[in-house]
Structure 1
């Protein structure tokens, strides 16, 4: 009996220690799940550019239709991103993420069935799912990591950039390995999406975790000047990024690179995004003024892309590195500003819907304008100047959005 009595306190202490360990581990597992999801939010977009020449050759796609294939998914990010708040209210943020991961996987499979209708329909479906998931995730970060939003948004954007790099750099080699033209590489990216869905399944909650802002507060958000400044910066920096995703491989091909080499340059640039995508949100989240970071990252992005379009060929790798650092920092800072400018998780979710919904809709115009400028000038000088103008506008709105204040502040 003495042995039993002595063992009970020890068992109690062990159970308590086990519960404490489980409690401490849960944020880590959530973070890992978020990273898996982040990896899968860009290959659907960045994998199209390296295959565009092959798709046009096989299908006879016109230049205008190719521009639409690049532009339409970006537009869908914005249009479908507005579903984020109602999905969160109806299903809860965790179940909403799971449901639309499945939508992304279905779209990726569909676009590889062959033929232009399936390609466009699958691209719309995958981009729509990405738009909804991307809108919901900042609210989850604000809810589960309120003390470390900058670090978590930095990790999130860094892994997202790795996914973009994988889509840009591995799609062509995957096609050669599969010997299936462009259809197989289009479909293969559904596999990691399904893996992310399985990893996220344990975190799905039965009831919604957030009711949202309510109609009056949500309407007030759309009248808030700071909210529009955050939205403008998100949209313009996204436009800079999607111009690169869509047109960089084609521009490099025009300048004498073969498709594989052009894809590798784009992949290096995308991989470089992870550096400032991690560092800028982490460091900016610790400071009261994020305006110096706006000037740094936008300047790097504009200088790098314009250098690739019209600069010396011998400097293509330094320009690609500069471009990647700038775009990674821009995107990480834009997402971090959504969290920093929001006083709570509910506001972060709705501001995310506004910034990404409206922002991505505006961003869709960027690749289209660059394509029109290229067709009109039959060169890359005017597109480079247009890109610089968009960068100037992004920097202006970013400086306003980076001031230390909250939306809906009285």
Structure 2
């Protein structure tokens, strides 16, 4: 009889159990990613209806569109503390539940309730945003590129889905736009359930891998990331922030730009949906390429050029070029977001460092991003048109490219360390 080696597992997990664990992890990530931008896309397609229904002025509309983005910046700073105290999956579960509650509150009549629900949902998204790259690192350490691409694609497409589906969905519920907004709580609730199931199933393994109270150094979300130079850290932060500024400026105003040009609400929503769907291509492809390359500078410049070409097209082609311009902007946005997320893992050596970098980049980045919708709205009010706001938005592509070139240069850590993570087969 063969003797068992001391410390050797008495039994190996069954193939069916391994498959179920992996399938549950993938399903949870899908539900998680889809839920992260539904709130933004659904509101952007009904700005006129919300404004008329509650008789809002320009400042109040700005609160609705940019308030959640500010929450993304402020709320991101608490994610590392929560992840240290609890598990990353547990915190992600609660953040999805908070998002579901905030989204559901939009059904209740009243402008203050709508604003509170929107800001509450924004805080839930803020924490979840920071944990996204960390969950990918912990659950799929050997598939970081592919799973980052999947997560990014879902984030990108969810806003477009909500923007395109919300107007007809609202008509299906007797033109009650409040119900049309509130129904998007359902996907967030399903995401909370999926994340809770994964938390229960993998709590023991994730406590060893995720930043936790035992053996995890205390890392301030604004402190320098261990092993990462300030130049690289600020480049990744700048790249994350400026690409987010582009994304939220288009979410907030692109449908409105085309509605002001005479396009109906359904078509304007579909234009934005095309932008979001086209972003899937680069969201899926760029992280896979980035994970296989030592330098990501060419990728960074390429996605910036695509986005810049799309913005210039929106400026110069009117309604005739709406569809191809939406595709170009979408390709640029999807690639830029996915590259920003994957760089947070490629440039750090542990889950602790990845959490700290993700938190600091998103805290500063989303506060910067919040200026985009506000600035575009202010420039539109001052000039009475969309030419100057679009020119200003196009001008931000130059610093985005610079940040991408610096962040794409190989740093001290250009591969994630799988030994710190618990893989899901």
- Give the TM-score normalised by the residue count of structure 1: 0.92
In the alignment, does 2:276 pair up with 1:270? yes
Residue 225 of structure 1: CA displacement?
A: 2.4
Retained in 2: the 8 A contact 1:37–1:196? yes
In the alignment, does 2:45 pair up with 1:50? yes
Retained in 2: the 8 A contact 1:104–1:190? yes
Which residue does the alignment assign to 1:221? Answer: 225
How far apart, in 1, do the equivalents of 2:181 and 2:304 lie? 31
Residue 322 of structure 1: CA displacement?
A: 0.9
Residue 220 of structure 1: CA displacement?
A: 3.1
Residue 218 of structure 1: CA displacement?
A: 7.1
Q: Could you report, residue by residue, the CA deviation over 1:251-271 in whole angstroms, capped at 9, with x for unpaired residues?
A: 001111011111111111111
Which residue does the alignment assign to 1:319? Answer: 325
Q: Could you report, residue by residue, the CA deviation over 1:264-315 in whole angstroms, capped at 9, with x for unpaired residues?
A: 1111111111111111111111111111111111111122123123324322
How far apart, in 1, do the equivalents of 2:46 and 2:296 lie? 38
How far apart, in 1, do the equivalents of 2:45 and 2:315 lie? 17
Retained in 2: the 8 A contact 1:169–1:264? yes
Which residue does the alignment assign to 2:309? Answer: 303
Retained in 1: the 8 A contact 2:221–2:357? no
How far apart, in 2, do the equivalents of 1:141 and 1:213 lie? 21
Choose between structure 1 and 2: higher helix proportion. Answer: 1
Which residue does the alignment assign to 1:368? Answer: 374
- Equivalent of residue 379 in structure 1, options 366, 385, 389: 385
How far apart, in 1, do the equivalents of 2:179 and 2:105 lie? 11
Of stretches 259-268 and 214-223 in structure 1, the one that deviates more from structure 2 is 214-223
Structure 1 residues 174 and 134: CA distance shift in structure 2, 3 A: same
Which residue does the alignment assign to 1:126? Answer: 121
Of stretches 351-360 and 308-317 in structure 1, the one that deviates more from structure 2 is 308-317
In the alignment, does 2:191 pair up with 1:196? yes
How far apart, in 1, do the equivalents of 2:272 and 2:156 lie? 12
Q: How do residues 61-210 of structure 1 correspond to structure 2 at under 5 angstroms?
A: 61-204=56-199, 205=203, 208=207, 209-210=210-211
Which residue does the alignment assign to 2:293? Answer: 287
Which residue does the alignment assign to 1:388? Answer: 394
How far apart, in 1, do the equivalents of 2:413 and 2:111 lie? 43
How far apart, in 1, do the equivalents of 2:276 and 2:221 lie? 38
How far apart, in 1, do the equivalents of 2:386 and 2:317 lie? 10
Retained in 1: the 8 A contact 2:346–2:413? no
Structure 1 residues 309 and 60: CA distance shift in structure 2, 3 A: farther
Of stretches 309-318 and 283-292 in structure 1, the one that deviates more from structure 2 is 309-318
How far apart, in 1, do the equivalents of 2:181 and 2:222 lie? 38
Structure 1 residues 165 and 408: CA distance shift in structure 2, 3 A: closer
Structure 1 residues 180 and 210: CA distance shift in structure 2, 3 A: same
| Structure 2 residue matching 1:288: 3-state secondary structure | coil
Structure 1 residues 138 and 213: CA distance shift in structure 2, 3 A: farther
Q: Could you report, residue by residue, the CA deviation over 1:137-194 in whole angstroms, capped at 9, with x for unpaired residues?
A: 2112112222221111001111222211211111111100011422011100011111
Retained in 2: the 8 A contact 1:340–1:406? no
| Structure 1 residue matching 2:211: 3-state secondary structure | coil
Which residue does the alignment assign to 2:420? Answer: none
Which residue does the alignment assign to 2:410? Answer: 404
In the alignment, does 2:258 pair up with 1:252? yes
Which residue does the alignment assign to 1:242? Answer: 248
How far apart, in 1, do the equivalents of 2:222 and 2:125 lie? 23
- Structure 1: 5+ residue stretches without partners: 1-14
Retained in 2: the 8 A contact 1:81–1:134? yes
| Structure 2 residue matching 1:123: 3-state secondary structure | helix
Structure 1 residues 378 and 404: CA distance shift in structure 2, 3 A: same
Aligned pair count? 395
Residue 342 of structure 1: CA displacement?
A: 1.1
What is the aligned-residue RMSD (CA, Å)?
A: 2.1
- Structure 2: 5+ residue stretches without partners: 1-9, 416-425
Which residue does the alignment assign to 1:33? Answer: 28
Retained in 1: the 8 A contact 2:315–2:391? no
| Structure 2 residue matching 1:220: 3-state secondary structure | coil
Retained in 1: the 8 A contact 2:80–2:221? no
Q: Could you report, residue by residue, the CA deviation over 1:18-41 in whole angstroms, capped at 9, with x for unpaired residues?
A: 624423542332122111110000
Q: Could you report, residue by residue, the CA deviation over 1:70-129 in whole angstroms, capped at 9, with x for unpaired residues?
A: 111111011111111011011210110111111000100112212210111011000110
Residue 210 of structure 1: CA displacement?
A: 1.8
Retained in 1: the 8 A contact 2:221–2:359? no
- Give the TM-score normalised by the residue count of structure 2: 0.88
